Structure 1
């Protein structure tokens, strides 16, 4: 009974912190829907999608740190040395990603049809701060310092809402939105640095080992976040400005359902890493994530008008109302896939990334054929695209879970 109560207490602390993070972060997105024109909101949504994809380096560092500290047996390197190695690896990765993003500015402007150099340039420091934060979260998660972990998560959302939302109220434009996002991303990184101040002792070899393992985890997470955010880019490229704006608004519902059960992943990941092959624990976690998804879908079916009012207002997005439940299904399907992906990382299953990349290629071809040739246009195209993403996520979840089960059995 005592371990279960401790688990529930930890889960509650992390859930509250992540709930504040998600609500505050989505507060920024909702401000964007109301303050920006549909075309500009489509652009900021595409940039947010790129931030989510680029953020895989942060998540890879977090997963590596949590796994290494959770499986640390006390032999060899000390936990303090492992923690310091994580933080140093985070600083190196943040610097490298910032430089790469700056170099890629012209390419990103061309791909996303965004003329503002300032907006694209600001992606670099934003991703740099988020990457640095990832290493800090990994140390806190692996050390099971749940209260401090929740505090950093809270700072993520509060920073985005206060600085990003405040910037949009001062001046509703794409450039100001990105200025606010960059400033907001600095808040959790500064807090994490304060909580983990004084760390020292890691050798260069330890840092390299952390970076090497991070590459594998990041590759898998990159595949996941690429496929989880590719639909926004497909909508931007294959639908007209108005319909891509509708799709961007619907994605708010999908992302809410994706991140709603994220606390389950954070809490269960260290135990999945320390007990690889624990299919019972994984199955229960999948049931919890799926259960939250069912509740979200039912809510959108019962209160579609309220959902539309929240995500952007009935005047601008009323035609989207009858289809919000489709986005809830898509987000919930990707939430299940995300859990299975983390289970694969915990078990050091490196074939998971290949399967996800294959799924992305299939989804891209299907979207190109159906939307690019005008087989489905307008709101029909919006519905078809979200349905294809849902089906892809569910099929990949089933395939990865089956592979993990076979690996555990072997």
Structure 2
């Protein structure tokens, strides 16, 4: 039998397809992240410090609440990627995820509305309008999570990238535009709410016509979403706990240095997210595929090595970007440590998603245990004054890196054993 593809060319086809998909998704996610950063810059320049602090706090609440969106996305991607039935069954699964997203969005919206007085008190925000607008914003983001899950699980990469792009464009154009027209906290939140509706509307258009979900399908999707959300919540808590430890255990100046260094760590954490998005469906459809997981880890780690080298070669530029040499010059020689930490957590994030793909039920517990150990170790070393000043900063970032790598190894071993059993 003749063939147009030679044996030497055959392995290249899926590799090229992967690279094309990765590029499309990477571009979409890059636009989203750059646009989000642009909104932050506009906010810092257009709002007075008190209002900028308030919008930052509200964005923090959105970040916490967005874990539900990520849980829905992971659930939808896993369920669609592992589906082996007919096209009609796949459509029913898609419809179930979208309806689960609607229910979750309504539930979170209601919770936010009820909790508005509490948020106003905790965050010292007087504007009820600004805090109330958290509810529809989070509702739209949650609904979008279910849509992203269907697109990701169906490997509709171009449409997935379009929704990611819409997230950033909506936040920058409508949120930033509202601040340019009228610089106030209320305007910023109105723009954010309208911006969050843009990707949700685009996702609804792209996935129009889905139908056929049964009540049991929807309940199963919601049950799995709760598990995935819990695991992701554990990850995001441990990935952000070091800033709290620094604030509580270091003096004001050193905790400020640490906070600036965390900007580098977060950039290294979010940089390889497109790899996770692309590889997650295949991890779900091939549970226990250690070769695929190992290659993904190597890709994420490789990007991390590049960022570490960059911070080693250009420490002054890094310091200038994150806060300026006038205030953070002493941090320059140590920015590479934060690049290592962020890259270590990027690897952990990949393994956490692999655990969700494989439905490893003990992943969240292991992460919570790791957080407890990290907290105790930081309390002993920093709280007792064993390491102080910039030495304390270096020790804390080294402990976080070690914790992330140990957890990654432990989770990866557990996933391998589960697949073998």
The TM-score bracket by the shorter chain reads 0.7 to 0.9
Superposition deviation, residue 235 in structure 1: 4.7
Are the counterparts in 1 of residues 265 and 342 from structure 2 also a CA contact under 8 Å? yes
Q: What does the per-residue CA deviation read over 1:192-213, in whole Å, with 9 as the maximum and x for residues that have no partner?
A: 1121123222222221111111
Are the counterparts in 2 of residues 34 and 312 from structure 1 also a CA contact under 8 Å? no
Instruction: Choose 310-319 or 202-211, whichever is displaced more.
Output: 310-319
Superposition deviation, residue 339 in structure 1: 0.4
Aligned length: 409
Q: 1:309 to 1:163 in 2, by over 3 A?
A: farther
Match of 1:307 among 302, 312, 318: 318
- Structure 2 residue runs of 5 or longer lacking an equivalent are 1-11
Are the counterparts in 2 of residues 21 and 153 from structure 1 also a CA contact under 8 Å? yes
What is aligned with 1:149? 160
Are the counterparts in 1 of residues 54 and 125 from structure 2 also a CA contact under 8 Å? no
Q: 1:270 to 1:193 in 2, by over 3 A?
A: same
Q: Provide the secondary structure at the position in 2 that maps to 1:298.
A: helix
Q: 1:124 to 1:358 in 2, by over 3 A?
A: farther
- Take 1:329 and 1:40, find their aligned partners in 2: how far apart are those partners? 34
Q: Does 1:229 align with 2:240?
A: yes
Superposition deviation, residue 294 in structure 1: 0.8
What is aligned with 1:296? 307
Q: Which has the higher contact order (CA 8 A, sep 6+)?
A: 1
What is aligned with 1:16? 27
Q: Does 1:255 align with 2:254?
A: no
Are the counterparts in 2 of residues 67 and 270 from structure 1 also a CA contact under 8 Å? yes
Are the counterparts in 1 of residues 66 and 138 from structure 2 also a CA contact under 8 Å? yes
Q: RMSD over aligned Cα, in angstroms?
A: 3.0
Q: 1:375 to 1:70 in 2, by over 3 A?
A: same
Alignment of structure 1 residues 89-168 onto 2, 5 Å: 89-105=100-116, 107-108=118-119, 114-116=124-126, 118=128, 120-167=131-178
Q: Tell me the TM-score normalised to structure 2 length.
A: 0.86
Are the counterparts in 2 of residues 152 and 192 from structure 1 also a CA contact under 8 Å? yes
What is aligned with 1:185? 196
Are the counterparts in 1 of residues 242 and 396 from structure 2 also a CA contact under 8 Å? yes
What is aligned with 1:205? 216
- Take 1:238 and 1:41, find their aligned partners in 2: how far apart are those partners? 26
- Structure 1 residue runs of 5 or longer lacking an equivalent are none
* Larger CA Rg, structure 1 vs 2: 2
Are the counterparts in 1 of residues 100 and 222 from structure 2 also a CA contact under 8 Å? yes
Q: Provide the secondary structure at the position in 1 that maps to 2:374.
A: helix
Are the counterparts in 2 of residues 257 and 296 from structure 1 also a CA contact under 8 Å? yes
Instruction: Choose 133-142 or 209-218, whichever is displaced more.
Output: 209-218
Superposition deviation, residue 160 in structure 1: 2.5
Q: Tell me the TM-score normalised to structure 1 length.
A: 0.88
Q: Provide the secondary structure at the position in 2 that maps to 1:350.
A: coil
- Take 2:376 and 2:161, find their aligned partners in 1: how far apart are those partners? 40
